[in-house]
Structure formats: C-alpha cells, structure tokens
Structure 1
Amino acid sequence: MASKQHAHLLSLIKTMIPPLSGKLHKGQAGRIGVLGGSGDYSGAPYFSAMGAMRFGADLAHVICEPAAGAVIKTYSPDLIVHGVLDESRSIDDIKTDLKSILARLHVLIIGPGLGRSEHMQKCAKVAFELAKDIEQLGVVVDADGLWLVQNEPQVVMDWPGVPRVILTPNVMEFKRLCETMKIDPKADPETLCPKLAVALGNATIVQKGESDIISNGLEIPPALLAGGQAAAGKGKDILEGEVEGGLKRVGGQGDILSGSTGVLMAWGSEWVRGSYAHVGHPPPTDKAIAENIPLLAAYGASTFNRTASKRGFEKKGRSMVTGDLVDMVGDVYTEVFGKPDIK
C-alpha cells in the first residue's frame, strides 16, 4: 500500500497537469525536443520523443544527424525531425539552427542516441550553452548526454535562477559522475544523490536503482512532505520512490523516462507561469512548490516509468521490449495520474 507521503506527492504532481480544454491551442500542453540520434542510434531518440507524445505532449522535435533523421522519419510521421547535426557543417551554422529550434521548446532532452563522437558531444555542449540563456527552458539529461556531463560538469552548473536541469543516470552513469566529482560511490546510497546534486550546482538527479532516489541537494520543503515532516528514517534531502518496477531491464526504458520527465517539467513550468489560468487552472500560491517543479516532475516520471515497466513485464514477461511499453503509456498514465480533467 502506498504511503501518505507517496499519495501527497502524486496529488501535487496531478495539480501540475493541464486540463483538456478547447481554449488551449496546439503547443501549450508541451513542446518537447530530443537532441540525440547519431548514425548508430536512431531508436533511443524515437522512444524518448514518442514516449513524450504518448504521455501527452502536443509536439515533439528530434534534433539529430541527417542519417538518423532519415530513419526516424520512417518510424512515425508524428515527430518533427531536424537532421541539422551534420558533421560536414560548421559548428556556428549548427548553433544558429539550434538556437531557432530551442526557442520553440518548453523542455530539451539531451542524450538519447547522442553517441560519444567529438562532433555530437560538441553539439550537445552548444545546446547546453544555448539552453542556459533561454528563460524557462528546462533540460533533461540522459545516456550520452551524461557522458558529456561526466567530462565537462560545468555544462549543468551555474544555471540562472532555480536550476532547470534533471539528470537521469543509471547505476554505472551515476558511479562515474560521483567519481568525477570526487564523491565516494561506496558511501551510504541515501547520501550519494544529494551530495552529487550539490556538486553539480543543485541539479535534480534521479538515481535509478532498485528504488529510485531523487534529490536536488537541498532540504525537502514542508510543502512537499505529508504533514510537513520527513518520513521516519529517511534523509531530509531526498525523495525515495515507492513503486516496484518490472523484472526485465530492456534498452529504451530510460528513454521513455526521459520523455515523460520532460513533459511533466514542461507542464509544471507552464503552470507556474500562469499559462493555464484562463482555463480555470491557476498557478500555485506556494513558492516552495513553484521552485521545486523539477523535483516533482522527476518523482512523477519515476513513478510512471516503474509502473509501465511492471505492467509491461506482467503482460510480456521476458519477451518485453520497449515498443511494448510505448503502446501501454496511455493506460499506465491513467492508472498513475487518473483520467484527465476536462474544462
């Protein structure tokens, strides 16, 4: 049975979700970009972008190498594909294109299928630099985007105002990030995530594992805690997931996590800005909630993704692949967050 703390967090996350309304125009319920898709990896950006679309985003852009773009376009006509990361072009020309695309987005996901070539890593670095200068643009970092953070941690640091960055490392990626930041990865797991978050400028981190641990390195404000108090025995600077995942770990599950994380951060950020007030969904009055949208988005996406993994495994067992999970996104969304509010 879910704890009061879990129920409280889900109730807060549900308040971030915009209603379905004829008064909202296309794009207001989430414009998500995925920067990745190298010549070798076309599946990951597709799963991230399509996962975001199935979750409820209005528009999803994939920014990739031309060869990957040609393949991704055959997967689905629902995605807007920009094959602008051409190695034969100058980085200045690519930067101009990226600046134009990023200006249209609520959230940019950096990493799915990015690869580790010097060219693609340089493109990702430029995207980080541009994102810092675009007010309200959120960033989710996964896969080889985390490789860049490992080698150049400054890309996620010194964010203007409240950091709008969420990192979603797996066990090995988390370990390498700790080693880069001179944090002993063998220390108490409940202390590692907040320590790493502090070292990376209070970015929000989803430490994926047997249970997900989420932290931005700061003490969790009372507004995010059931009864205003931390759960007994838990650190005051972490949220720990309570949902079981499936027993098969298949490549691509993390891409669906990045997509759903991006959508929840987009919805939460637009809610805080008052973008849904005209449809009877006013922004939060509690400053602590408004300043912790990345933390809530990360917890909500973790809960959703682990539920999707569990339901997929129950249905498919060892034969489960990520495509099965994409098809289940709608049903799992309803299970976790309920039916949409219609106004």
Structure 2
Amino acid sequence: MVSKQHAHLLSLVRSMIPPLSPKLHKGQAGRIGVLGGSGDYSGAPYFSSMGAMRFGADLAHVICEPGAGAVIKTYSPDLIVHGVLDESKSMDQIKEELKGIMARLHVLIVGPGLGRSEHMQNCAKVAFEIAKENDQMGVVVDADGLWLVQNGPQVVMDWPGVPRIVLTPNVMEFKRLCEKLQIDPKSSPETLCPKLASALGNVTIIQKGSTDIISNGMKIPPSLRPDGSASDEKQGGKDDILESDTEGGLKRVGGQGDILSGSTGVLMAWGSEWVKGSYEHVGHPPPSDKGIAENIPLLAAYGASTFNRTVSKRGFEKKGRSMVTGDLVDLVGPVYEELFGQPGEEEGKGKL
C-alpha cells in the first residue's frame, strides 16, 4: 500500500515537471552537464548523461578527458562531448574552458567516471569553484566526485543560501564521509544522514541502502508532509529525514548510480527553473509555498530515488540475473511515465 507521505511527495515532484509546450524553446527543460570520463572510465558518464536525456532533459553535455571523449562520442550522437580535461593544458586554460561550458548549464553532475588521478580531481575541484560562483547552478556529486569531497569537504561547504547540492553516496562512500567528518558510522542509520548533511553545510544527501534515507540536516517543512505536520509519525517523530522504501531489483550492477545521478540532475534543473518562474508563460506558475521552493534538492532527491529503485525493479523483472545497466537505460522512459505520467498529463500542475 502506498503511504500518504509517499503519495504526497510524488505529487510535489510531479509539480516540478514542466509541461510539454511549443512555447518552450530547446534547453528550457534542462541543460545537464556531466563532469567525469577519465581514460579508464567512459561508460559511467554515458549512463548518467543518457539517463538524463531519456528522463526528459533537452540537452546533455559530457565534460571529460580527450581519450574518453573520443570513445563516448561513438556511443551516441545525442550527447555533446567536450574533451577539454586535457592533462597537457594548464589548469588556468581548463578553468576558462569550463567557465564557457558551465555557463550553459542548469545542473552539473560531478563524478561519473572521474577517476582519482591528481589531474582529474583538480579539474573537478575547479568545476566546484565555478559552480559556487554561480548561485543559480545545481550540483549532483557521485562516485569519485565523492572521493574529492571526502579529501576536501570544503568544496561543498559555505555556499550561499541553502546549497543546491545533492550527494549520492553508496554504503562505503557514506562510511568514509562520516569518518572524515568524525561522525561514528556505527550510529543509528536514521541519525547519520542528517548529521553528515549538517556537517557539510546542509547539502542534501541520498544515503543509499535497503531503504534510501534523504536529508539536508534540517527539519522537513510541514508542506512536505501530507497533513502539514512537522514530523512523520511513522518515523517515531523523526523530523529531519525522508525515507524512500520503494521496492528495487535484487541485482546491483555498476551504473545504476549513474542513472540516479542523471535523473536527480534533471529534477533539480526542472525544480529550480519552476521556482524561478521560467514556466509561468506556459501555464505552470512557481510555488507560493516557501517550504517547497527552498527544498527543491530534497524533492529532487526523493523523486530520483523512487525512480531509480523502480527502474531497478522493472529491469530485474525483465532480465533477472542477466540485467545490465544498458537494460535500465532502455526502461527510463517507460518507468518515467509509470511514476510521473504520460506526456501532456503534467499540464496545469505546480499551482501550489
């Protein structure tokens, strides 16, 4: 049985989705960048960026090392590939090129296929600096982007306002982050996520597990509760986490997290543009509720978590043990429609 809390949150996520309208021009429904793709890893940035495209983004840019870029270009002509993270260039040169690319984006996803070399980690650090200067840009951090955060937490801290940053760590990545911030990883799982989010300056974290725990370290506003209360009785009054317990598949494959980062990025882009009023001219006005407007990263994280777990379940139902991430990319569209509606059904939502 679907809980009232889950149904309410999904209704809010649907409210962020822009309608399909001839009045929207190319790019208004999401310009996503994926910074990663080192010499050894070309699949992860493809899955993240193509997952974003299949989810509904208008444009997806992959920012990568030149060798990885040459390979990624053969995967799909739909992706815009920038092989600018060239080790032969100075970091100042790379920074200037990144500024030009990132100026086009709503959201940057840092980490898929990034690797841990000093050069690629420094490129990601520069990208964080650029994003921090642009208070309109959202950032999703996964994979070896989290390695950078672990070694230098300051890259996600001290951002203006409520940071538009979502971290998507797996079990080991989450444990290492806790240890770095001197948080006992053996504490109750329900307390760890808000503690870590708070320690990192109130970024939003999807603590992946049998149940995904989502928090930005602050109290969940009443508008995100179905009854308008400040806490969820199901969680024993816990008021600083959301739990995403939609059933997933029974096989974990490398690449599922990349699809999660892509869908998180698109929902962040849509939500941020919705709040700015970018869709008002197509009958999709921004929310009047401040609690909703200030918690777009939290809603994007919940929606993407629910989506990713459902994609995994549908993929496993079709393929069983033979399931690979490529199977999940093909299911992004059908599962999107299952959760968020057929094209055109989003019309008129967002009047909150």
Alignment partner of 1:258 is 2:261: yes
Counterparts of 2:324 and 2:18, CA distance in 1: 30
Partner of 1:243: 246
Runs (4+) of structure 1 exceeding 4 A deviation are none
Q: Deviations over 1:3-44 (max 9, x none)?
A: 000000000010000000000000000000000000000000
1:187-206 equivalences in 2 (<5 Å): 187-206=187-206
Q: What secondary structure sits across from 1:166 in the alignment?
A: strand
* Contact 1:32-1:109 at 8 Å conserved across structures: yes
Q: What secondary structure sits across from 1:281 in the alignment?
A: coil
Counterparts of 1:61 and 1:137, CA distance in 2: 15
Q: CA deviation at 1:232?
A: 1.6
Aligned partner letter, 1:261 = T
Counterparts of 2:208 and 2:135, CA distance in 1: 29
Q: CA deviation at 1:228?
A: 1.5
* Contact 1:54-1:329 at 8 Å conserved across structures: yes
Aligned partner letter, 1:3 = S
Residue number among 298, 304, 307 corresponding to 1:301 in the alignment: 304
* Contact 1:6-1:242 at 8 Å conserved across structures: no
Counterparts of 1:132 and 1:155, CA distance in 2: 9
Partner of 2:52: 52
Q: What secondary structure sits across from 2:135 in the alignment?
A: coil
* Contact 1:212-1:302 at 8 Å conserved across structures: yes
1:129-168 equivalences in 2 (<5 Å): 129-168=129-168
Counterparts of 2:334 and 2:68, CA distance in 1: 30
Q: Deviations over 1:143-201 (max 9, x none)?
A: 00000000000000001112010000000000000000000000000000000000000
Partner of 2:323: 320
Partner of 1:270: 273
Aligned partner letter, 1:315 = K
Partner of 2:344: 341
Aligned partner letter, 2:100 = S
| Unpaired stretches in structure 1, ≥5 consecutive residues | none
Q: CA deviation at 1:233?
A: 4.3
Q: What secondary structure sits across from 2:251 in the alignment?
A: coil
Counterparts of 1:34 and 1:134, CA distance in 2: 17
Q: What secondary structure sits across from 1:228 in the alignment?
A: coil
Aligned residues: 343
Counterparts of 1:136 and 1:209, CA distance in 2: 30
Alignment partner of 1:212 is 2:212: yes
Aligned partner letter, 1:250 = V
Counterparts of 1:272 and 1:136, CA distance in 2: 11
Alignment partner of 1:124 is 2:127: no
Q: CA deviation at 1:134?
A: 1.1
Q: Deviations over 1:203-246 (max 9, x none)?
A: 00000000100000000000001101322241200000020110
| Unpaired stretches in structure 2, ≥5 consecutive residues | 348-352
What TM-score do the two structures reach when normalised by structure 1?
0.99
What TM-score do the two structures reach when normalised by structure 2?
0.97
* Contact 2:210-2:245 at 8 Å conserved across structures: no
Aligned partner letter, 1:237 = D
* Contact 1:49-1:79 at 8 Å conserved across structures: yes
Q: Deviations over 1:52-91 (max 9, x none)?
A: 0000000000000000000000000000000000001000
Residue number among 308, 332, 344 corresponding to 1:329 in the alignment: 332
Q: What secondary structure sits across from 1:140 in the alignment?
A: strand
Q: Deviations over 1:82-131 (max 9, x none)?
A: 00000010000000000000000000000000000000000000000000
Q: Deviations over 1:127-146 (max 9, x none)?
A: 00000111310000000000
Counting aligned pairs with the same residue, the percent is 81
Aligned partner letter, 2:8 = H
Counterparts of 2:66 and 2:196, CA distance in 1: 35
Alignment partner of 1:232 is 2:244: no
